[in-house]
């Protein structure tokens, strides 16, 4: 919104040809764009534009002397207008404008953006003049601001990571950790610098920290890793290190972005992007592996789900101890179930505004489907469901066991535990991906176990056809994670948009032995 207003200002308010500021009008869309197209090349040009932005009566205080410089430089960075950004930095210096902390942070970010490709993708060193400038800005900043907030520190780290003094980034990360968890970019820049400076062990330790804290591993980590591998002269060692990264992806259930996969293909001079159909790679015809959890891991997961999700904040604060006791008694006295159904989730698959008879009929169709297969069925729902049409509700209760939580409670944590308590191979039917509950498991390993357990046992109702025949989206026959099948590595590619299904995910198929 700010950038659009900046852009609008020029078209209506300013004429470079006359060097005259017209009457103040509302900020317009193409202001800064037009300013760039007219090639601001003099100090006077910037001075007039800057003052016009500040004085505009309709900017509602969004642009002031304190923030206008960082906003303009931020726009140059976002739009990759590095020549213009460099010119504006010189203008600020020539005008003796006292830089704010925000502008200094943007200046360091600018220097990072200008040099990142050369450093992290091409593996080249930072120019001496640029390195000297980065370190000087940082040194002066520390004199004026001995204590910095985490946001400022996160702006500083990427620029410092380009220099020979990149290990200062470790200190800055620790400084951030006093009040916050460092963001993905600060972490990733530090890891990238560690790889390029042959500090491999440190890089892997930091990567572990990133994923443990739930931060994303950004592409620059992979690009710098491949740049580092290009320095290897022994192909055998190169392949071993490449597979080490693939094993890391596998162990953390990480997907790669297309840009990274293309970089892998370019680095290895081989590999194809393909699809998996019914568990079979369409490029190499290998069957992909299904990664399951063992009995010991399952018992650990069940215990932690009860501790973190059932007894944790997700349920306890929205219900009462009596309901929790009823649930525990119910589970201790109930039999094992083959299938656990998310009652309301199934009923609402046709829309939340459907009449009760439609909702009840949908759930009854699913219950009947599994009951006819001689499965022990449990329905988890809420008490208001008892007001559904009596004939259909009776059909449900005759074919399945039912546990109903209070209407103000969350029922999906109960659903989770019921499924886990019934055994490792119990089917769970819900369209809910349970992301919020997964993140209550603070340990990364437990989150991965949760993913693997749920992805292999979760059915999702698509629709009910004919006279009550449910159509499900079944679990995949393989795990969507990096894996080696025969002599081929298969790396899943992160889709551009979030999808409910993994069926259409693209994969990299790569044979490193030929």
pLDDT along the chain (514 residues), means of 10: 41 38 42 62 78 67 81 88 90 91 93 90 83 94 91 94 96 94 96 96 96 93 95 92 96 94 91 94 96 93 79 52 76 86 91 90 96 95 92 95 78 80 91 71 85 92 90 92 95 75 81 80
pLDDT at position 319, please? 52
Pairing mode of beta strands 339-342, 280-281: unpaired
Minimal CA–CA distance to 414: which of 336, 343, 500? 343
Which CATH fold topology does 295-473 show? Rossmann fold (3.40.50)
**Which residues sit opposite 112 in a β-bridge?**
none
Minimal CA–CA distance to 411: which of 335, 334, 362, 347? 347
pTM of the model: 0.82
How many whole angstroms separate alpha carbon 456 and alpha carbon 422? 15
Looking at the chain, the domain(s) classified CATH 3.40.50.11980 span 295-473
**Token pair belonging to 72:** 């303009």
How many whole angstroms separate alpha carbon 46 and alpha carbon 390? 75
Contacts of 70 (CB under 8 A, 6+ apart): 100, 102, 103, 105, 106
Task: Answer for the pair 207, 217: CB distance below 8 angstroms, yes or no.
Answer: yes
pLDDT at position 57, please? 46
pLDDT at position 351, please? 86
pLDDT at position 274, please? 96
pLDDT at position 41, please? 66
């Amino acid at each position: 919104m700010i950038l659009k207003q900046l852009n609008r200002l020029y078209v209506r308010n300013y004429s470079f040809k006359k060097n005259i500021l017209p009457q103040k009008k509302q900020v317009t869309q193409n202001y800064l764009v037009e300013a760039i197209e007219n090639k601001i090349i003099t100090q006077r040009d910037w001075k007039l534009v800057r003052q016009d932005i500040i004085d505009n009566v309709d900017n509602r205080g969004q642009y002031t002397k304190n923030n206008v410089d960082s906003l303009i430089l931020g726009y140059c960075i976002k739009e990759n207008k590095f020549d213009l950004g460099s010119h504006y930095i010189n203008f600020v210096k020539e005008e003796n404008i006292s830089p704010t902390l925000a502008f200094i942070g943007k200046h360091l970010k600018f220097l990072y953006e200008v040099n990142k490709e050369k450093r992290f993708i091409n593996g080249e060193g930072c120019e001496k003049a640029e390195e000297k400038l980065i370190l000087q800005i940082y040194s002066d900043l520390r004199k004026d601001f001995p204590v910095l907030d985490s946001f400022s520190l996160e702006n500083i780290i990427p620029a410092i990571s380009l220099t020979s003094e990149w290990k200062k980034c470790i200190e800055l990360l620790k400084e951030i950790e006093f009040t916050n968890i460092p963001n993905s970019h600060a972490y990733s820049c530090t890891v990238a610098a560690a790889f390029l400076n042959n500090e491999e062990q440190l890089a892997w330790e930091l990567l572990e920290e990133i994923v443990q804290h739930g931060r994303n591993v950004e592409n620059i980590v992979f690009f710098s890793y491949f740049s580092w591998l290009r320095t290897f002269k022994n192909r055998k060692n190169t392949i071993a290190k490449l597979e080490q990264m693939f094993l890391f992806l596998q162990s953390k259930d990480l997907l790669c972005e297309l840009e990274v996969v293309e970089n892998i293909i370019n680095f290895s001079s081989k590999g194809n992007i393909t699809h998996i159909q019914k568990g079979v790679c369409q490029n190499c015809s290998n069957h992909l592996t299904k990664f399951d959890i063992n009995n010991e891991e399952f018992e650990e997961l069940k215990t932690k789900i009860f501790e973190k999700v059932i007894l944790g904040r997700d349920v306890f604060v929205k219900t009462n101890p009596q309901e929790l006791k009823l649930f525990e008694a119910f589970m201790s006295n109930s039999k094992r179930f083959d299938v656990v159904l998310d009652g309301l989730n199934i009923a609402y698959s046709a829309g939340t505004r459907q009449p009760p008879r439609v909702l009840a009929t949908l759930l009854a169709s699913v219950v009947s489907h599994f009951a006819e297969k001689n499965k022990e069925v449990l329905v988890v729902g809420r008490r208001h469901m008892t007001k559904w049409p009596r004939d259909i509700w009776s059909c449900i209760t005759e074919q399945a066991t039912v546990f109903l939580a209070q209407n103000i409670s969350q029922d999906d944590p109960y659903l989770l535990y019921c499924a886990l308590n019934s055994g490792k191979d119990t089917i769970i039917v819900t369209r809910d991906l349970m992301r919020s509950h997964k993140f209550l498991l603070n340990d990364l390993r437990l989150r991965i176990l949760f993913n693997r357990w749920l992805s292999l046992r979760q059915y999702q109702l698509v629709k009910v056809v004919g006279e009550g025949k449910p159509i499900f989206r079944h679990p995949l026959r393989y795990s969507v994670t990096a894996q080696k099948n025969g002599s081929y590595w298969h790396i899943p590619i992160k889709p551009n948009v979030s999808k409910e299904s993994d069926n259409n995910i693209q994969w990299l198929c790569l044979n490193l032995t030929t």
